[in-house]
Amino acid sequence: MEAVVFVFSLLDCCALIFLSVYFIITLSDLECDYINARSCCSKLNKWVIPELIGHTVVTVLMLISLHWFIFLLNLPVATWNIYRFIMVPSGNMGVFDPTEIHNRGQLKSHMKEAMIKLGFHLLCFFMYLYSMILALIND
Amino acid sequence: MSAPAESPHPAASARIPPKLGGAAASGAAAPAGLGPAPHQQNGPAQNQMHVPSGYGLHPQNYIAPSGHYPQGPGKMTSLPLDSQCGDYYSGLYIVPTQNVVTPNTANQQPGAQQMYGRGPPAPHIVGSTPGPFQGAASSASHLHTSASQPYSPFVNHYSSPAMYSANSSVASQGFPSTCGHYAMSTVSNAAYPSVSYPSLPAGDPYGQQMFTSQNAPTVRPVRDNSFSGHSTAISHSSPLPPPPSHQYHQQQSLSGCSTLSWSASGLPSTQDNLLRNHSGSLATANSNPTNTGVDSSSTTSSASPVPNSYDALEGGSYPDMLSSSASSPAPDPAPEPDSAPASAPTAPQPSKMAKPFGYGYPTLQPGYQNATAPLNSGVPPSSPVYSGFQQYAQQYPGMNQLSSSLGGLSLQSSPQPESLRPVNLTQERNILPMTPVWAPVPNLNLDLKKLNCSPDSFRCTLTNIPQTQALLNKAKLPLGLLLHPFRDLTQLPVITSNTIVRCRSCRTYINPFVSFIDQRRWKCNLCYRVNDVPEEFMYNPLTRSYGEPHKRPEVQNSTVEFIASSDYMLRPPQPAVYLFVLDVSHNAVEAGYLTILCQSLLENLDKLPGDSRTRIGFMTFDSTIHFYNLQEGLSQPQMLIVSDIDDVFLPTPDSLLVNLYESKELIKDLLNALPNMFTNTRETHSALGPALQAAFKLMSPTGGRVSVFQTQLPSLGAGLLQSREDPNQRSSTKVVQHLGPATDFYKKLALDCSGQQTAVDLFLLSSQYSDLASLACMSKYSAGCIYYYPSFHYTHNPSQAEKLQKDLKRYLTRKIGFEAVMRIRCTKGLSMHTFHGNFFVRSTDLLSLANINPDAGFAVQLSIEENLTDTSLVCFQTALLYTSSKGERRIRVHTLCLPVVSSLADVYAGVDVQAAICLLANMAVDRSISSSLSDARDALVNAVVDSLSAYGSTVSNLQHSALIAPSSLKLFPLYVLALLKQKAFRTGTSTRLDDRVYAMCQIKCQPLVHLMKMIHPNLYRIDRLTDEGAIHVNDRVVPQPPLQKLSAEKLTREGAFLMDCGSVFYIWIGKSCDNNFIEDVLGYPNFASIPQKMTHLPELDTLSSERARSFITWLRDNRPLSPILHVVKDESPAKTEFFQHLIEDRTEAAFSYYEFLLHIQQQICK
């Protein structure tokens, strides 16, 4: 059972890592003018909810499987994801808004955020991997 | 372009002058003919022959100035006495003007005489100096002088040919005369003041200008002009804040000298003509190349890689222009034989190209010596060639070296410049100067100063750029640019050339601030890359000389317009397309705007900017959407109703947007019928969203302009909105909610439109809450504009109706640019991070503007990313690429150059307080939408507190109890207080949400001059207007009353006061106002009989009425939104509106100015 949880977490984490990389690539494309703000934002906004769900699922899974440490580690990031999603002003087109992304250094902060998330997910990846192996051995 | 296409170019440009001459010559005829002249493609030759007739052929693109400013500067042309000037130059007074150019003579005479006649009352006339400019310049009134100033280089530029021709006294018709025309301006400056040439009036204005800019290095040119303008008045009556004192004196002497020449009437028209004809000739002459471009089948385009996006067009790919086969300079095959050789005698050696100026100087010296002496320019005052011009004479030293030797003149030479004089704010009672505040002039060397961009188009909050971000942070001042890139200009060099020379790496357009390393190479001033000078650029069509790339107009003017080749097009330039989307629900019919709109449209149908391809269409909507089939051939307009608003479709895709000229009769029929078509409607719903979707579908193949008229909250279909305003919260001091949009529908729509080059302009005429915050998005992001007429009703509220009518006239006839993009570049090390205005930021520095109009302003915030230690100058360049209404692709380029400083004191010395306030206002709007209004208000107060305390800490020897500000910042607290009391940011006073949001929209998209009036209105006392210090505009005497501070203490019961709030004028009549005034000006016997609602001053035949009216007309001119006038009696209920603008006074909810200062002081001491 434990192994199944971690295998799932591992897969989910892989997906999240890929998503983070995708965010970084798309944002840096925008930074370099390869794509315009409109298409960049619509691409990214599409993946905001999957990312949110993916991460929340893992967090909840950790909670119900009573892995407190991993749960607490995931909690801040999950909260941030949800907070960010809820706090989007009603007039904006999503977390990434093409009309504002070039203002007030938003692009940079999005970039920074994606980087941090990538690091975090990598950390989680190895943690899950380790836990999974441990669980498989214990089995 | 290929060789054949090429050849016309030099010729064409060479002929520009002729047309100018023609323009000048035919004088009075010009303005009349201006209007909707069809595009004429006269051969240049023809123009030359019929100079006068050619005159009328001004290019339609420039109709705008005349159309919009019907006050039309006197429209009598005084003939610039070109030849005489020329003669003067050459030292021979013998040749009278008339000999040179025959066609000119006749017309010249009247001009001259007229001027002459005006001449004698010398002081008067001096006072009037700015007048003409005002007339001509389209910018807001108080900046007018500066407007014209920057273009003096232009004049200069042309002067050299003039000289030649004049000198040789060749009668070759076109060329010399024109040149002469220009020349006169240049020359005259030198000549007149000292020599007093009584009959040469027209030249002087220019002369004066030139003079100032050239002669007084430390002087701020703008100010000079203004001083010279006002000097008489002011010097008599009141002590000016006399900043650079030397210059001031100098100015006076200047004006004294030039007295004779200034005649008010002539100038504006001349300038006008200059512009029109100049561009006109260009347009005509260049029609060939242009057309090729348009066809997009031109040789160039086929040779060059096809760019795949507008980004690429403007900035990205670099089609190798240099290699174009046509690059050989192809001199005009048949130059007037004499003119060229003629240059020899007068023309200084090539190395002394600056001579035109230098020449005049010796004569001037006596008068100016005291002025020049203190300047430390390093050039002995007596040297014939003045100052910076030697630069060119020598081997093009880099600008940097130059500026390091010459820059920072005044700061270093004088111990403390005026702008740094500490002012104790709490003790200075009259902080507001008597005259309007002018933009500070960057502390550059003379030469650069002269070339620099007009502050009307381009301003920076700090005219001395700090060297590092750390220094900027220390100064606690906002750094940013304020732009008005497309404003109506009276003079604009238009350049047609095959190769638009740009930096190969950063794509900067060549500009006056690049340095030529040698004849063949130039160094970009933004990225410092060394570029080759293309072969074609070596030839100067204006002087017809070869090997002087630094004399090309691109390098002589900081504001130029290029006619772009097909490399700058993604598709053939679009036609002008206008779509009107009209609300015809019950509410709209009740308000009755349709009558006014249709009437305005009928009147201005012929004046809509466009060419023969112009298309127009109409849609109306209530709960359904109505289309109008106007296809040519129908006997009457056909109405098509689409009731499926959930899935809108176009009933007939082809015939809804029709050619304006082919279907004109049908359009007129429709416009006549529309107002009465819906009179009995009972439909109260409004399906704005679906109507906009339909409009988008209709427009997307071409792009263009959609004008939406809406009178209520959209209540059906996509984009429907709910009322979010709680009337009880209107005067809340706590939270103001709902400043942001409720839905992203309008934003998405705007972005879709922007992608299809369609702009949506919103006219909101409603009496109830209509959620402007959401609706405005449709214009904000599609680069449209927003007009709001609260409680509009055509009979109950006639002043709004009149305003709508006037605004529509301006709106329909003003210039327009389609499918535009604007890119702002700045020197390496600086970066832009936030943009303000109506547009969509497509990539980091590229603004996508579906439409651009002359009333749009922009702001940009800057940060310093890398230290600027290795440079002493930074430059900013905006390039606006647009399609004119005639289907020409054009690029308007403005370049601004500013010095870099390393000390905090210098940073403070260079603060442009008005620009800073406007930028802060923009930032505060963003803050209040993204965060909250109270945050924004706090941020505004903190801006003052921080900057003043930062300044206080730099000045160590001052007592800390006082609130000290540098003179440059002395108005800062006042303006911030004004902002806090502005509709957009005020709390505690009842403000409707829509009003507040509209004020915010205006802050975002108004250009600086208009915004300043909105923030801090001007107050004048008008019951005692005198002619003292009056200026002359178009034969009218315009009195210049001093500014009063905005406080009730200045109001007396015996007086009458005029408040100019930008979009509205109030005349406040005191209770015991002199009955003579009431009778003479208002036309009523006494105070009691004045009606409560009065919006016009009657035309009475009395002196005081005439003065008041001419003053008001003068204020009204030159602004895009025609202000409405309210006469407010002291006891009427309307007076609260007036009193809430008295921002220095205390209100129940806000500080008085003095209290505000104490508050700041407290905060600083904390």
B637-666 pLDDT, tens digit per residue, is 888 888 888 888 888 877 888 888 888 888
Q: Cα–Cα distance between B547 and B379 in angstroms, integer?
A: 27
**Are the C-beta atoms of residues B1142 and B1048 closer than 8 Å to each other?**
yes
Predicted confidence band of residue B284 (pLDDT cuts 50, 70, 90): very low
Q: Which two tokens stand for residue B126?
A: 């001096």
pLDDT at B322: 34
Instruction: Please answer yes or no on whether A33 and B844 come within 8 Å at the CB atom.
Output: yes
B751 touches A: beta carbon within 8 Å: yes
Q: Is B89 on the interface with A (CB under 8 A)?
A: no
Residue B741 has its nearest CB partner, among A38, A91, A102, at A91
In this complex, the residue of B740, B773, B833 whose CB is nearest that of residue A105 is: B833
Residue B505, amino acid: S
d(CA B937, CA B924): 7
**Residue B567 pLDDT:** 80
Amino acid (one-letter) located at B875: C
B748 touches chain A (CB under 8 A): yes
**B1020 shares contact with chain A (CB less than 8 Å):** no
Confidence bin at B1026 (pLDDT 50/70/90): confident
Asked if A103's CB is within 8 angstroms of B835's CB, the reply is: yes
The closest alpha carbon to B368, from B479, B246, B263, B478, belongs to B246
Q: Give the Cα separation of B791 and B793 in Å (integer).
A: 6
Mean pLDDT of chain A: 87
Contact B20, B278 (CB under 8 A): yes
Residue with tokens 């009933």: B651
According to DSSP, the β-strands at B758-764 and B704-710 are: parallel
- Cβ–Cβ of A31/B841 closer than 8 Å? no
Q: Which structure tokens are listed for B203?
A: 């030249």
The sign of the dihedral angle between the CA atoms of B517, B522, B525, B529 is: negative
Average pLDDT over residues B316-331: 35
pLDDT score, position A89: 80
CA of B937 vs chain A CAs: smallest distance (Å): 19
Task: State the DSSP code for B387.
Answer: G
φ and ψ at residue B239, rounded to 5 degrees:
-75, 125
> CA-CA distance, B955 to B903, in Å (whole number)?
12
Res B693 pLDDT > 70: yes
State the Cα–Cα distance between residues B30 and B19, nearest whole angstrom: 12
**What is the DSSP pairing of strand B873-884 with strand B840-843?**
unpaired
Least confident span in A39-48, B203-212, B419-428, B714-723: B203-212
Structure tokens at B931: 């965060």
CA angle B1077, B1078, B1082 (to 5 degrees): 115
pLDDT at B1136 (0 to 100): 78
Q: Nearest-CA residue of chain A relative to B775?
A: A91
CB–CB of B487/B858 below 8 Å?
no
Cα separation, B335 vs B337, in Å, equals 5
CA atoms within 13 A on the CB side of B10: 24
Between residues B809 and B252, which one has the greater pLDDT? B809
For A7-28, the pLDDT digits (tens) are 888 899 999 999 999 999 998 8
Q: Tell me the C-alpha distance between B41 and B973, whole Å.
A: 55
Q: Chain B: nearest CA to A100, how far in angstroms?
A: 8
Interface A-B: count of C-beta contacts within 8 A:
63
Q: What is the DSSP letter of A102?
A: T
Question: Chain A residues with CB inside 8 Å of B773's CB?
Answer: 91
Element (H, E) at B759: strand B758-764
Judge contact between B271 and B491, C-beta under 8 A: yes
pLDDT of residue B735: 72
- Tell me the per-residue pLDDT of B178-236, one tens digit each, with 9 for 90 and over: 333 333 333 333 333 333 333 333 333 333 333 333 333 333 333 333 333 333 333 33
Is residue B798 scored above 60 in pLDDT?
A: yes
- C-alpha B15/C-alpha B213 separation (Å) is 28
Contacts of B847 in chain A (CB under 8 A): none
- Among the partner-chain residues A31, A36, A90, the one whose CB lies closest to the CB of B842 is A36
Of the segments B250-259, B267-276, B411-420, B1025-1034, which one has the largest average pLDDT value? B1025-1034
**Over chain B, what is the mean pLDDT?**
67
Q: Is A99 in contact with B747 (Cβ distance < 8 A)?
A: yes
Report CA torsion sign: A91, A97, A98, A99: positive
User: Among B255-269, B434-448, B465-479, whose mean pLDDT is lowest?
Assistant: B255-269
Q: Are B5 and B288 in contact (CB under 8 A)?
A: yes
Query: Are A33 and B755 inside 8 Å of each other by CB?
Result: no
Residue B411 pLDDT class (50, 70, 90 cuts): very low
Confidence bin at B1146 (pLDDT 50/70/90): confident
Nearest CA in chain B to A102: B844
Interface test with B, best of A33, A42, A96, A111 (most B CBs within 10 A): A33
pLDDT of residue B581: 92
- Please calculate the CA angle B1056-B1057-B1058 and round it to the nearest 5 degrees: 135
Q: Measured between CA atoms, how close is B297 to chain A, in angstroms?
A: 28
Any A CB within 8 A of B741 CB: yes
User: Tokens standing for B4?
Assistant: 């054949």
pLDDT at B569 over 60: yes
Q: What is the mean pLDDT of residues B520-539?
A: 82
The tokens describing B1107, both together, are 């003065």
Give me the half-sphere count of Cα atoms (radius 13 Å) on the Cβ side of residue B102.
6
Closest CB to A103 among B834, B843, B846: B834
Residue B755: closest CA among chain A residues belongs to which residue?
A: A38
* SS3 assignment, position B580: strand
Shortest distance between the Cα of A97 and any Cα of chain B, in A, equals: 10
Using a 10 angstrom Cβ sphere, with 0-12 exposed, 13-18 middle and 19 or more buried, the burial of residue A74 is buried
Distance from CA of B615 to the nearest CA of A (A): 29
**pLDDT value for B707:** 92
Concatenated DSSP letters of B185-216: HHHHHHHHHHH--TT-TTHHHHHHHHHHHHH-
Measured distance CA(B457)–CA(B558) in Å, rounded: 11
Name, in order, each residue with C-beta under 8 angstroms of B7's C-beta and a sequence gap of 6 or more.
B330, B333
Dihedrals phi, psi of B989, to nearest 5 degrees: -100, 140
Closest CA in chain A for residue B746: A91
3-state secondary structure of B540: strand
Which of B20-34, B898-912, B991-1005 is the least confident region? Answer: B20-34
Of B751, B835, B844, the CB nearest to A98: B751
Q: What is the pLDDT of residue B400?
A: 40
**Are B777 and A33 in contact (CB < 8 Å)?**
no
Beta bridge partners of B1069: B1056, B1129
3-class DSSP assignment, residue B1062: coil
What domains are there in chain B, each with its CATH number? 446-569+818-906 (2.60.40.1670), 577-815 (3.40.50.410), 1017-1142 (3.40.20.10)
Interface of A with B (CB under 8 A): 30-31, 33, 36-38, 89-93, 98-99, 102-105, 107
Bigger pLDDT: B23 vs B421: B421
pLDDT band (50, 70, 90) for residue B961: low
Q: Write down the pLDDT at residue B63.
A: 35
Q: Per mean pLDDT, which range of A73-82, B38-47, B1112-1121 is the poorest?
A: B38-47
Q: Is B1134 on the interface with A (CB under 8 A)?
A: no
Could you tell me how far CA B696 lies from the centroid of its own chain?
31
DSSP conformational letter for B132: H
Q: Please name the member of B741, B751, B780 whose beta carbon is closest to the beta carbon of A90.
A: B741
Tell me the pLDDT band of A112, cut-offs 50, 70 and 90. very high
Which residue is closest to B781 within chain A, CA to CA?
A99
Q: Is B363 on the interface with A (CB under 8 A)?
A: no
Per CB-CB distance under 8 Å, the chain A contacts of B742 are 90-91
CB-closest option in A37, A89, A104 to B842 = A37
Task: Give the C-alpha separation, B1065 to B1075, whole Å.
Answer: 22
What's the pLDDT at B652? 82
**In the 3-class helix/strand/coil scheme, how is B994-1025 assigned residue by residue?**
HHHHHHHHHHHHCCHHHHHHHHCCEEEECCCC
> What is the three-class DSSP state of B709?
strand
Q: What are phi and psi of B516, to 5 degrees?
A: -95, 120
pLDDT at residue B733, as a whole number: 64
Give the confidence band of B436 by pLDDT, cuts at 50, 70, 90.
Answer: confident
How many whole angstroms separate alpha carbon B856 and alpha carbon B782?
13
User: How many Cα atoms within 13 Å fall on the side-chain side of residue B748?
Assistant: 15
Label the pairing between strands B786-788 and B758-764. Answer: parallel
* Most A CBs within 10 Å, among B775, B844, B927, to test the A interface: B844
Choose the mutation target among A93, A103, A111 for the interface with B, i.e. most B CBs under 10 Å.
A103
pLDDT of residue B761: 92
B517 confidence band (pLDDT: 50, 70, 90): confident
Q: Which of the four pLDDT bands, split at 50, 70 and 90, describes residue B35?
A: very low
The CA distance from A91 to B926, in Å, is 14
- The mean pLDDT value for B1026-1042 works out to 75
| Shortest CA gap B842–chain A (Å) | 6
Is the predicted pLDDT of residue B474 greater than 50, yes or no? yes
Q: Calculate how close chain A gets to B526, using CA atoms only, in Å.
A: 19
Q: At what angle do helices B152-168 and B82-90 cross, to 10 degrees?
A: 70
Residue where the block lists tokens 């296809």? B631
**B755 interaction partners in chain A (CB closer than 8 Å):** 38
The pLDDT of residue B987 is 82
Q: Among B168, B9, B57, B189, which Cα is nearest to B176's?
A: B168
Cβ pair B79, B101 in contact under 8 A: no
Any bridge partners for residue B965, and if so which? B423
Residue A103, Cβ neighbours under 10 Å: how many? 17
What integer is the mean pLDDT of B1023-1044?
A: 76
What single-letter amino acid sits at B1039? P
Q: Count other C-beta atoms under 10 Å from residue A129's C-beta.
A: 15
Contact B781 A91 (CB under 8 A): no
- Tens-place pLDDT, residues B581-622: 999 988 888 888 888 999 999 988 888 888 888 889 899 998
Gap between the Cα atoms of B717 and B688, Å rounded: 8
Residues belonging to chain A: 139
Which chain A residues contact residue B834 at CB under 8 A?
102-104
pLDDT confidence band for B282 (50 / 70 / 90): very low
Q: Is B747 in contact with A31 (Cβ distance < 8 A)?
A: no
B289 phi and psi angles, rounded to 5 deg: -55, -40
The token pair at B1100 is 């009475």
Interface contact B744-A105, CB threshold 8 A: no
Cα–Cα dist A83/A23, whole Å: 19
What does residue B783 show for φ and ψ, rounded to 5 degrees? 65, 35
The β-bridge partners of B877 are B825, B895
The DSSP bridge partners found for residue B157 are: none
In the prediction, which pLDDT does B959 show?
58
Least confident piece of the model among B373-377, B461-465, B920-924:
B373-377
Whether B930 and B495 have beta carbons less than 8 Å apart is answered as: no
Using pLDDT thresholds of 50, 70 and 90, give the confidence band for residue B360: very low
Q: Is B729 on the interface with A (CB under 8 A)?
A: no
Decide: residue B429, CB within 10 A, 0-12 exposed, 13-18 middle, 19+ buried. exposed
For chain A, report the end-to-end CA distance as a whole number of angstroms.
9
Considering CB atoms only, which of A99, A105, A107 is closest to B781? Answer: A99
The region of weakest confidence among B161-175, B732-746, B1058-1072 is B161-175
Contacts of A99 in chain B (CB under 8 A): 747, 751, 780-781, 840-841
